[in-house]
Amino acid sequence: MKKEFWIKTAALIAFIVITVITVVLLNKDRPRFVFKDNFGTEYETARVLAVTEDNSVVDTNTDNVRKGSMDFKLEILSGRYKGDICFVRNHLSALYNVVVKEGDKVSVRIDTTEEGVYSVSIHNYYRIPLIVGLLVLFLAVLAAVGGKKGVLAFAGLVYTFIAIVFILIPLAFKGVNPILATVGILLVTTAFAFILIGGTGRKTLAATIGCMCGVVFAALVGELAARIGSLTIYQTDEAEALLLLLSSYPIKLRGLLTSAILISAIGAVMDVAMSVASSVSEIATLNPGIGFKKLFKSGLNIGRDAMGTMANTLVLAYAGSSLNMMVLIYSYGVSMNRLLNTDFVAIELIMAISGSIGIVMTVPCVSFAAAKIFSGTNKLSTSKK
């Protein structure tokens, strides 16, 4: 038992070391903004020492939003101008409405025009403590409800985030096909997350196989639909900014849309895959003599319940993120013909539907893999007896 523990520990350490080395090597030449003494724009943190003048009024026509201006005395808390005291006028409108009081921290924009000469403006609220607090709350809830497995699930989520931000994106900047890179990274992160939650047993193997099959189905459907509908990343809001990157980096932009489909679908697909694999594993354990067909049928029956809710989750997640746009579309009385032929709507629908198809196809894939793995093992154990 001790030998197995040390082997697993050594493998985990080696995996983490390889990941760290990969991240360092891929990001050593990442784009960085270089500050100079005589010019540049930087975003730092400041504290409001006093509200020197308040010329704002409440506008009852726009949900009681304040309009006008407020003058502040600020102390810069970070960056090269740390400790400096400055006076700032903050203009308020319905769209730009950062209202703070004495003692609050704010995010400020500092524009340096020449050496030692700079201007300060309020950029936004200081939200870092809020975000950190929510992450801590999320971890606490996972630990309270899920115990050790909840903490391990959080570790898997952190690893997935690191892999996407610090491995996938740098690879895309270096000209690597984003679809192949995404599939490879999701395979590793999925296996890692499943191993953390369920160990290195047969259940993890079955869940990983089924999960990757479902994700590949989602990618194939999304890519095929995008090609038929002549939809690419060039039809998105970020297209113009992304095109500017081509002058400096060999990014393959056309694959980013399919990569987005893969990433957006992986969470729900993992949920369904592990649920079905765990259920089939439990059935096989309680019924050692059960065969492939019965296990496969049981996996399908269990998966049908899970896939309905997960498909709803994915579609509603897209709908929720696009709610503001849907309100505008409704207010303009846009016809269905125009609506469905709009790039934005078509892309969102393709991502939601292809992801949902991936969830549905995960069920038979993981059921087949789990039934094959566990029925084969049951036969071996029965024959030994």
pLDDT confidence of 381, banded at 50, 70, 90?
very low
- Between 3-17, 275-289, 320-334, 364-378, the lowest mean confidence (pLDDT) is in 3-17
Arithmetic mean of pLDDT, 164-176: 92
Q: Which residue has the higher pLDDT, 48 or 310?
A: 48
Q: What is the pLDDT of residue 171?
A: 93
Of the spans 71-75, 259-263, 381-385, which averages the highest pLDDT? 71-75
| Assigned token pair, 321 | 């993120």
| Assigned token pair, 197 | 């939650």
Per the listing, tokens 């896939």 go with 307
Strands 85-92 and 105-114: unpaired
Q: What is the pLDDT of residue 78?
A: 92
Q: What is the pTM of this model?
A: 0.81
Q: What is the pLDDT of residue 383?
A: 43
Sorted by where each starts, the structural domains of the chain and their CATH numbers stand as 40-126 (2.40.50), 145-384 (no CATH)
Per the listing, tokens 């690419």 go with 232
Please check the confidence at residue 284 and state whether its pLDDT lies above 80: yes
Q: What is the pLDDT of residue 75?
A: 94
Please check the confidence at residue 26 and state whether its pLDDT lies above 70: yes
Please check the confidence at residue 261 and state whether its pLDDT lies above 90: no
Residue range 82-140, pLDDT digits in tens: 999 999 999 988 888 888 999 999 999 999 888 878 999 999 999 999 999 999 999 99
Residue range 356-373, pLDDT digits in tens: 888 889 999 999 999 999
Q: What is the pLDDT of residue 38?
A: 75
| Averaged pLDDT of the chain | 86
**Cross-strand pairs, 92:** 68
Q: What is the pLDDT of residue 236?
A: 79
Q: Which residue has the higher pLDDT, 1 or 237?
A: 237
| Assigned token pair, 267 | 């969470």
Residue range 306-357, pLDDT digits in tens: 777 777 777 777 778 788 888 888 888 888 888 888 888 888 888 888 888 8
CA dist 353 and 218 (Å) reads 9
Q: How far is CA 194 from CA 210, 302, 315, in A?
A: 12, 19, 24
| Assigned token pair, 107 | 């995010």
Q: What is the pLDDT of residue 77?
A: 94
Residue range 228-240, pLDDT digits in tens: 888 887 877 788 8
Q: Answer whether 323's CB lies under 8 Å from 305's CB.
A: no
Q: What is the pLDDT of residue 382?
A: 44
